[in-house]
Each structure stands twice: as structure tokens, then as C-alpha cells.
Amino acid sequence: MVNEEMRKFYDRVIDWRERHVSEKQLVLILSFFVGVFASLAAVLLKTFIHLIQQFVENNLIAGEHTWWYLITPFIGITLAALFVKYIVRDDISHGITKILYAISQRKSIIKAHNMWSSVVGSGLTIGFGGSVGAEAPIVLTGAAIGSNLAKAFRLDQKTMMLMIGCGAAGAIGGIFKAPIAGLVFTLEVLMMDLTMTSVAPLLISSVTATALSYILTGIDPMFPLENMEDFAVTRIPWYLVLGVVCGFVSLYFTRGMNKLEQWFKHSVTTMWGKLLVGGATLSLLIFIFPPLYGEGYDVIQQLINGDCLSALENSPLEHNAWAIRNGQWLLIVYFVSIILFKIVASVATNGAGGVGGIFAPSLFMGAITGFVTARLMNTCGLSLPEANFALVGMAGLMSGVMHAPLTGIFLIAELTGGYHLFMPLMIVSVISYLTIMFFEPHSLYAMRLAQKGELLTHNKDRNVLTLLKMENVLETDFTTVYPEMTLGELVKVISQSHRNMFPVIDHEDRLKGLLLLDEVRNIMFQPRLYKRFTVEQLMTSPYAILKADMPMEKVMEIFEDTGAWNLPVVDAQKRYIGFVSKSKIFNSYRHVLVHFSEE
């Protein structure tokens, strides 16, 4: 009875909204609340992580610091894995990829549990020392808030997609205090269309989330600068070099992480096996390289303020000051090793059952890459500001890994307050992006979807083809015939069909060929030939055969290559299921394009 009353009240609210509040007004109102909720979720996650870290540092690591590095990350990953398996009962990893999938499939539906599950999972993982970031989980949280709010008000899928973008922009604005980065991240990484209809709600969410974050946590940037030199034009060539280096490190990050994830997924199949292998790997790496513990933001702060020696705390080099001061190469090799093993630590964290993203790892590796590049050049006799290079290196790695140069530029400027370094930020970000684009057309986020043909891009024609599915254009009203049928039997089939093409199948429904009416027209009215010819003698091979799971972009390529207007479709067992015609695709394409282009 109570549920029925609640349903009726809900219906009345929706009806009142539809009569008194236009959809455009509702979108602006919801974008504000999405920003508020996303910011609260970001602050909650940061607070949760901080409380766990305080507990670990005050009660565990305060004593035998080094040995506890072997235990605490494993505790966090285990708790997160158990939480996901027994409470959430769903995969909550790869948050940004899940958002891209929801947008690409035009459904824009993200499960309700994502509004809180990623906060708990990533908080446990990172708080106990998991080597990942909290930003991707909070972006998924914000996107889920936007999606479910839009769903609650029964908005269409296109508006739901916009609200997902608002949630992502609000999450970035809230956790980083970076409103511009929140906007450009949504446009670059989530590939939202840049129109006034979309920009206004995105801005409202991003600015609202940032403002609330200022109120709750203060207005100081995440990485306040202490010793930063001004930009010098004479250093442009060296920033160009850093951009190329960041591009190649981004390539290593992208390909290495992708391959390691695939290996981990297929080599270790049980939950406890993943925990054992991943936890042991992470603990060992952190034991050897303590900077890999947690998000690594302390190390970033030390590097951009010129205090590289503090980053060696608890490391094998900590008590070997002579080797550090007199053997620069030892220090360089140590930091290069951290760059190489960071992706292993991140994959081990997530592969073992932890929850986290690659925002923080990319910033961490970027700062070290910038520092190492400057230190190498200074070893060769130059005089470059290592703190500056560490700062712009963060932008370079983020731009390369995410294929988002604007996000890299604005995020680092807003994270540090280093607006006076806009020029080197732009140089390094753009060069890094151009470098990796020679080798990888998609970011790590988009790789999995691009390989399946399920990724939306800024190319509207390609987007429309991505939105088209085989089942939407499949025609199944063709009459099938069998190879052993005689011409006389075929004539009877033809007389009852309105098609001029007949798929030839065997008795297991496997496609054998096609019979075209034009091929038998000259003999079909000669009864004396009815028993002389069989369908097998008269059939021809199709120009090409399409598969049911083939992306529409590939289908159109085949149509263009063959010049055909109709092509048969088979399933994974090569059983005939229907035909696709170019004219049907064009009609569906025009219909989707009109809807896709509406403002």
C-alpha cells in the first residue's frame, strides 16, 4: 500500500514537472544538483582515504615502518575485493571505460550502486596504500549520479548522456578544485559535443562542485608551489625534448598497462589467486620502492618544490647520502626504475581486486619523468629548473595517456596555481600528444571499446555508424532454398516470393551461396528444364559475408569495397540469419543523424 502511494506521488511530481518546467530549465537545475552531489562525493572520498591513512600511519606504520609496507596494501586490496564480491556483486573497475561504454551504446545508463560503491572500494584500496588514484572512481560516481538523476526524471537518452557529462565535470572540479579541467575533460575524454546546449550545464556542474569544494576544504591548490622559476624562452628547445620523452613514456604506460591487464586477467582466474599474486607483487614493489605506496602525491609535492631527496624516505638509498650526492646516476636509475615499475604496481593493485584509476599514476610518473629529464640534462652541463620540469611533466604524461592535451594543460595549472607556466605546459602537452598519436590512435580508456567498434568519437559520421547495430538493419523476410532443389521446385518458391534474391542453405542452416532471379529468368519458363537443373548448379557466391557481431563501420567498408547493395549475414557458427541492404543502412543512418544532431 505504501509503495503504491509512493508511486502515485512520484507520478504526480513528474506530471507537474512536465507541465510547468521545460526540459531545458530542468537540465540546468539538475546540472546544479549534480555538481553539488558530485562535490560531496569527492570530499567524502578524500576524507575517507585520509582517515584510513591516519589510522594506518598512527597505529601500524609508526613503528616498524618498512615491514608494514608488506602488509597494509594487501589488507586494503583484500577488503576492497571482498566488498566488491559479496556486497556490490558487480565489476566496478575501469570507471572511465564504463562511462565511455554507457555513452557509446547510446543507453547512457549507469547502475545506481556506482553512486557509492566506487567511493567505498577505492577508499579502502588507496587508504591502505594501493598504488592507484581516486579520481577515476569519483568520476564514475559523479557520472552515475547524473545518469540516475536524469533517469528519475524520465529524461531521454540524449539528455541522460549530457547529465553523465555533468557528473564527470563536477567530479573533476570537486576532487581537484579545477573547474576548467572538469569542463575540458568531459569534452576531450568523454567526447561530448561542444555546443552551447551542452557547455552551459557542464559549466554549472563544474563550477558548483569546485565552489562547494572550496567551502568545505579551503581554496588552496592541491600542490601549492614554493620554489618555481618563471618561464624562459631560451628553454623552449628543452621543453620540446621533454614533450617527446613524455610521449614515449605515455606510450609505455598505455601499451604496458594494457598488456599487463590482459596477462593478469587470463593467467590468474580465481579471486584468491589474484589476491595472492597481485598483493605479493605490490607489497614487494613498495618494499623496494616506497614512493609507489599510495597515490604518490607526497612525492609529487616534493619534486615540484625541488626536494627530491625527501622522496627517498625509507628507500634503500635513504641512508646512502654519499652515493646520492656523488653518484647522480644512481639517483637517476632509481627514479627511472620507479617509472618502469609504477604500471606494474597499479595493475597489481587493480588486478588483485583493488579499485582505482590511472589519473594519479599518470601524474606521479609525469612528475618523475620531468625531474629525471631535467636531471639528465643538468648532468650534461645545462642548468634547467628541475621543479619546473617535474610540474610540466605531469601535464605531458596526462596529455599522452588520456589523449587530452587541454585537460593536461588546465588541470596542472589549476592543481598548482602555476598559471605563469602556461607556455611550457602547452608545449609539453601538445608535443606529448602528437608523439603518442603516431603510435596509438586511442587512449587507454578508449582502447577496449575501440577494438570492439563501440566507441563514440568527435567524428559525427563515425558516431552515427557506431550507434547503428546489426539488429536494427537486418532483414529476415528472404525465402531460403536448398542446394538439391530442382528448377521446378525453385519456380514454385519464386512465384510465392516478393524478393529477387534467395539464400541457399544446407539442412543445418549454413549459408552455401545465393540464387539471383536474374540468373534463372531465361530458363524458368521452360518446363523441360525443370528436372535438369538444381539450385546448386545455378547458385553463385556472395560478394562478401557479414558477421552478426560486426561493427557498422566495418560493414560499410565492405559495402564500399565490394560495390554490393545486399549482403548476407551469418552468426558465429556460420548459420544464415538474414540480409543487410545498403539502402536500409542509409535510411537508418539518416534517422539517427537527425536525432543525433538535434540541439
Question: What average pLDDT does the segment 478-493 reach?
Answer: 86
CA atoms within 13 Å, Cβ hemisphere of 299: 29
CA atoms within 13 Å, Cβ hemisphere of 60: 18
Question: What average pLDDT does the segment 575-586 reach?
Answer: 79
Instruction: pLDDT band for 458, please (50, 70, 90 cuts).
Output: very low
pLDDT of residue 314: 62
Question: What average pLDDT does the segment 528-550 reach?
Answer: 83
pLDDT of residue 598: 46
In this prediction the pTM is: 0.76
Question: What average pLDDT does the segment 277-297 reach?
Answer: 87
pLDDT of residue 425: 94
* Grid cell of 349 as nine digits: 593493485
Taking the C-alpha atoms of residue 496 and residue 374, their distance in angstroms, rounded to an integer, is 79
pLDDT of residue 313: 67
Q: Kindly report, residue by residue over 186-197, the tens digit of the pLDDT.
A: 888 876 666 667
Question: What average pLDDT does the segment 395-403 reach?
Answer: 93
Amino acid at 53: Q
Taking the C-alpha atoms of residue 303 and residue 296, their distance in angstroms, rounded to an integer, is 11
* 5, pLDDT greater than 80: no
pLDDT of residue 168: 92
Question: What average pLDDT does the segment 308-329 reach?
Answer: 61
Q: Are 205 and 32 in contact (CB under 8 A)?
A: yes
At residue 313, what are phi and psi to the nearest 5 degrees?
-55, 130
CATH numbers and ranges of domains, the chain: 18-217 (1.10.3080.10), 233-457 (1.10.3080.10), 462-597 (3.10.580.10)
Look at the alpha carbons of 261, 267, 269, 270 in this order and tell me if their dihedral is positive or negative. negative
Q: Kindly report, residue by residue over 65-117, the tens digit of the pLDDT.
A: 457 777 888 889 999 999 988 898 887 877 777 787 777 665 668 888 889 99
pLDDT of residue 459: 47
pLDDT of residue 452: 54
Q: Are 400 and 244 in contact (CB under 8 A)?
A: no
Burial of 540 (0-12, 13-18, 19+ CB in 10 A): exposed
Return the beta strands (E) in 6-110 as ranges: none
Instruction: pLDDT band for 560, please (50, 70, 90 cuts).
Output: confident
* 497, pLDDT greater than 70: yes
Taking the C-alpha atoms of residue 351 and residue 276, their distance in angstroms, rounded to an integer, is 10
Question: What average pLDDT does the segment 395-423 reach?
Answer: 90
pLDDT of residue 315: 62
pLDDT of residue 562: 79
Using alpha carbons, select from 122, 149, 121 the residue that is nearest to residue 135: 122
Instruction: pLDDT band for 64, please (50, 70, 90 cuts).
Output: very low
Residue that the C-alpha cell 544532431 belongs to? 597
Using alpha carbons, select from 241, 389, 382, 234 the residue that is nearest to residue 303: 389
At residue 568, what are phi and psi to the nearest 5 degrees?
-75, 155
Q: Kindly report, residue by residue over 207-230, the tens digit of the pLDDT.
A: 999 999 999 998 888 888 877 778
- Mean pLDDT computed over every residue of the chain: 83
pLDDT of residue 596: 47
Taking the C-alpha atoms of residue 455 and residue 579, their distance in angstroms, rounded to an integer, is 25
pLDDT of residue 193: 63
Instruction: pLDDT band for 559, please (50, 70, 90 cuts).
Output: confident
pLDDT of residue 465: 53
Residue that the C-alpha cell 622559476 belongs to? 229
Q: Which residue has the higher pLDDT, 311 or 595?
A: 311
* 204, pLDDT greater than 90: yes
Instruction: pLDDT band for 295, please (50, 70, 90 cuts).
Output: confident
Q: Are 347 and 94 in contact (CB under 8 A)?
A: no
pLDDT of residue 320: 57
* 396, pLDDT greater than 50: yes
Instruction: pLDDT band for 563, please (50, 70, 90 cuts).
Output: confident
Taking the C-alpha atoms of residue 394 and residue 295, their distance in angstroms, rounded to an integer, is 14
| Candidate from 190-199, 400-409, 424-433, 502-511 with smallest mean pLDDT | 190-199
Instruction: pLDDT band for 319, please (50, 70, 90 cuts).
Output: low
pLDDT of residue 599: 42
Kindly state the percentage of the chain with pLDDT values over 90: 29
| Candidate from 10-19, 201-210, 293-302, 428-437 with smallest mean pLDDT | 10-19
| Candidate from 57-61, 481-485, 548-552 with smallest mean pLDDT | 57-61
